[in-house]
Amino acid sequence: MRTIAWGILVAALACVSGCARPDWIEQTLVTVDVTGTWEGELLGLSPQGSGYYALQLEQQGPQVKGSILRAVRGRGPIVGTVAGDVFSFKQTNTIITGELTVSGDEMTGQISGHFGSPRTITLRRVNWSSPPSSP
């Protein structure tokens, strides 16, 4: 009887822990396409008050590759993923990271990096395929 009780307890715990995780379909669902050039300003970075940012992105399924252009620090490569309507990325040669929610031709979210605490940025798609304009 005791063995059966332990078996039921283990089965119940396995079911509960499996239910607590998002299902694999939610984790792999891609509902937006971020391909193109996105531009915007990150406010409060310097005494001048802002910093120009542009992302040039190419998306293949949930995987994204591209570059980030920053007014003061130049261009660098980024890699990222799309899950649902959230685009997450990191710059591969520095500490810049971001998590942005995409809605049509606009994405808004947080960017973190060398400037201290995370900052809010809104980027707008200016082109579906051309390189970013100069700041």
Residue 21 above 60 pLDDT?
no
pLDDT of 130 above 80? no
Residue-wise pLDDT for 73-103, tens only, equals 778 999 999 999 999 999 998 889 999 999 9
Tell me which long-range contacts 15-18 makes (C-beta under 8 A, separation of at least 24).
none
Examine the pLDDT at 106 and tell me if it is beyond 60: yes
Closest CA relative to residue 39, chosen from 68, 79, 65, 77: 68
Residues 93 and 61 sit within 8 Å (Cβ to Cβ)? no
All structural domains of the chain, each given as residue ranges with its CATH number in brackets, are 27-127 (2.40.128.20)
Residue closest to 127 by CA, chosen among 46, 51, 15, 37? 37
Distance CA 81, CA 29 (A): 11
Of residues 95, 88, 80, 81, the one with CA closest to residue 30: 81
3-state helix, strand, coil in the chain (%, to 5): 20, 55, 30
Mean pLDDT throughout 41-53?
70
Neighbours of 32 (CB within 10 A): 17
pTM given for the model = 0.73
The average pLDDT across 58-76 equals 89
